[in-house]
Amino acid sequence: MTSACLSAARAEDPNTEGSVELESDVSAEIELPPVYVTTATRTREDIRTAPAPIQLIDAAEVEAAQATTLREILDLAPNLHVSPNGRTLQIRGLGQSDTLYLLDGRRLTGEFSNSFELERLSAAMIERIEIIRGPASVLYGSDALGGVVNIITKQPVEGFEVDLDVQYGANDHGEADRTMIAGSLRGGDQTFGYSLYANHLQRQPYSEQETAIVGVPKAGVLMLPSQSPNPRIRRSLPDSYQASVDYRDQARVDTLGGRLDWQVNDQIALSLDVNYVQEARENAFISTRYRSNFRQPGQGSGSGSGKGQGQQQSGSIMVGNVPARQENDNHRIDVAGTLDWSPTESLDFSYQLHYGHYDKDREILAIPYADLGYATRADSASSINKTTMTQWVNDLLAVWRPTHGQTLTAGFEHRDNAVDSTAFDADNRRFSSAFLQHQWQVLPRLNLVYGGRYDDDSVGGSNLSLQAGGVYRIAPLARLRANYAQGFKAPDDRDLYVDQVNPRGFPMLGAMVIAPEFGKTSAQDLNPEKSETIELALAGDSPTLGYQVTLFHTQVEDRIQRVRERQGLQSYNSFRNVGETHIQGVEAEGSLQLTENLGVRASATQFSTENKDSDDPLLLTPETLANLTLDVSPTPNWLLQLITTYTGEQHYASTEGIETAAGYTLVNLKASYQPQAMAGLELYAGIDNLLDEAVDTGIGSNTGPFGYLGVRYRY
């Protein structure tokens, strides 16, 4: 894995759009090939001269990860945390919804929480990943509060190339088995290029048995059904269920996409990108409270299905701790057309029209539906969420290089978002923005980047973001990097307008929703969340050694958090600006090529967090991360990897209050063999969690030792 710390061999980024190649006398003293990234400045720049905290996972590392999804790649990345359930990514203590996900530089349309992206995006389509660890709103606007993850798909190449990849795996009990079949086709010449990819992933759930203690209300508290004064409840409901709880959901994900390039002439190029994803997910869980078809005494029996908005049916008895099943059927299509025009050698324009469409269909079904008084499972449906989201984006980028060592980049963006949902009622939303950035090589050893951006949101108001940083080469093995960056996140439609019961059975009421039946009698405005980060880093590279140490301090104001309002059966969840958070820490990473056949990579992160308005800890946020990877190539045909990751203790909320989950260490073993007699063939295998480390179920779980076998073929 690469940030500004580089291992010995790196493939050059094939993306040449908006090229910016600043001179540096580093390569004159230590010969290293340039490693280009585009996410840090939206121009093509050597990673060593980028002040932003950019991290690169290149094509070789993507392939060596032997992954089926984006989650499995990021699991192994230094100084990042992926939760055990695979739903959240944390960058420097900030969570999944604080990270902006891009596909080939384009915003993805999907869940507000980004909860499925890590296990929705196929690893087989990924060429490389560029990650900004920290705010990046100057270039990307709202949602880049804590970082940016840019997934670059496989691009067209000259000639002809075919990739096939088949993998199967399961844990040591034959559970949670998964199957992946993937392929890609790339080719072209200097005028036309194409890239096509397809992927099928199917996974069975990983479950653990738990006991659900059932509760029914009386005088504002829960009692066992056997103690209820209601005879129908006593007859129908047991006091407990032995429930199968899925810690990894059952999933089927199919992906199809590609890119077409046409170099019209020396000045004009056209491209078309398409990505389509279809997924079906199911998982069993214990719902905290579930609406039954029983009525309070004197109100008769309920007969409705509870569909529509999913709120409590008037008079229905809510039952606590009921086994339930969540079913999701989601579709997304992403299409973009791009026109690149270079009227002169020093001036480039790029215009992109991007369309995103996302369909979500979710419902929760009671497993013991008959016990709850329903005639069919379909009658027990709740928390129904049928949502269609569309996004149109017009993006114009201009890059001007007036003199040697100076680059001015200007960008203009307009987004129109529309939504139709059973979960909330929101008007169409418009976003307009403009930014200006200056990259300046002041001296052969000093590079500066600074800029500003103005955003206007038809709902969230306006915002100004700033960024400034520089890189100074002190010595061949010492580069000093400093950066200041601001980020912001406007309140999304869920924060403002959601009005439904969530899968756990709690009413979700957006800040602007008025619901007198729950005691919510007024609407509340939400301010945008704002962050700023100051960091200082020292880094260096040689053909055999690379390192980087970074000190950072992040301050987040007007944090929007979900809060529990009121008590007992009238409680509900809403959203508020709750105050200010400070995060400060250190990141360290390095690589050392001990011999031609043996290399070692290591990383560690330690940070502390402080809620300025309360003593409550940040939940599900480990403050210590560490990674140690040993790469062994006994022969040119073999690659062996031993990867050890440590995740420190973290706090989580339970029915007993705030609890602490112990840290855990996972050891993964990977092997790859490419037989000389069969060019293009690769056989690979691995075991994740080799030592069967347990993970506290309060923060997720682990399948135990998980083995897999795969075969790749490239022509």
Assess whether pLDDT exceeds 80 at residue 426: yes
**At residue 5, does pLDDT exceed 60?**
no
CA 179 – CA 507 distance, rounded (Å): 37
What is the DSSP-derived secondary structure letter of residue 691?
A: T
Q: Give the model's pLDDT for residue 303.
A: 40
Q: Is the pLDDT of residue 627 over 80?
A: yes
Average confidence (pLDDT) over 292-303? 66
* Cβ(13)–Cβ(35) below 8 Å: yes
**Bridge-based pairing state of the strands 461-475 and 478-489:** antiparallel
Mean pLDDT of 392-412: 97
Q: What is the mean pLDDT of residues 371-379?
A: 96
Mean pLDDT of 79-92: 94
DSSP annotation of 371: G
* pLDDT at position 4 over 70: no
> What is the tens place of the pLDDT at every residue in 178-188?
999 999 999 99
Enumerate the β-bridge partners of residue 533. Answer: 485, 554
Per-residue pLDDT tens digits for 307-327: 333 444 457 899 999 999 999
Which residue in the block uniquely carries the two structure tokens 């989601």?
330
Whether pLDDT at 18 is above 50: no
Q: Any idea which fold 26-714 has?
A: Maltoporin; Chain A (2.40.170)
| Residue 386 predicted with pLDDT over 50 | yes
Give me the amino acid identity at 50.
Answer: A
Sheet with 507-509, side-by-side order of all strands: 499-501, 507-509, 572-577, 560-565
Closest residue by Cα to residue 148 from 199, 203, 102, 103: 102
Instruction: Give the tokens for residue 511.
Output: 């800040």
β-strand pairing of 89-90 with 81-82: antiparallel
The residues near 142 (Cβ < 8 Å, ≥ 6 apart) are 431, 455, 457, 460, 463, 488, 489, 490, 528
Predicted pLDDT at 614: 77
pTM for the full model?
0.92
**What integer is the mean pLDDT of 194-200?**
98
CA–CA gap between residue 644 and residue 70 (Å, rounded): 19
CB atoms within 10 A of CB 211: 10
Q: Are the CB atoms for 236 and 229 separated by under 8 Å?
A: no
**Where are the extended beta strands (E) located within 571-677?**
572-577, 581-595, 598-611, 624-632, 638-647, 650-654, 657-661, 664-673
Beta bridge partners of 183: 164, 198
The answer to whether 386 and 360 have CB atoms below 8 angstroms apart is yes
Quote the CA–CA distance of 346 and 401 in Å, as a whole number.
Answer: 5
> What's the pLDDT at 360?
97
674-707 tens-digit pLDDT: 999 999 999 999 999 999 999 999 998 999 999 9
**Does position 459 have pLDDT exceeding 60, yes or no?**
yes
Q: Considering only residues 363 and 569, tell me which one the structure prediction assigns the higher pLDDT.
A: 363
Q: Which tokens is 639 given?
A: 């690659």
Kindly state the percentage of the chain with pLDDT values over 90: 82
Closest to 389 measured CA to CA, from 494, 263, 270, 290: 494
The percentage of the chain sitting over the pLDDT mark of 70, rounded to a whole number, equals: 93
Among 130-139, 254-263, 519-528, 658-667, the least confident range: 519-528
Q: Return the pLDDT at 569.
A: 65
Segment 537-581, tens digit of pLDDT: 999 999 999 999 999 999 999 999 888 887 766 788 999 998 899
The pLDDT of residue 272? 99
As to burial, measured by CB atoms within 10 angstroms (0-12 exposed, 13-18 middle, 19+ buried), residue 221 is exposed
Please state, in angstroms and rounded to a whole number, the distance separating the CA atoms of residues 490 and 562.
Answer: 15
Q: What pLDDT was estimated at residue 22?
A: 42
Residue 309 is predicted with a pLDDT of: 39
Asked if residues 393 and 413 have their Cβ atoms less than 8 Å apart, the reply is yes
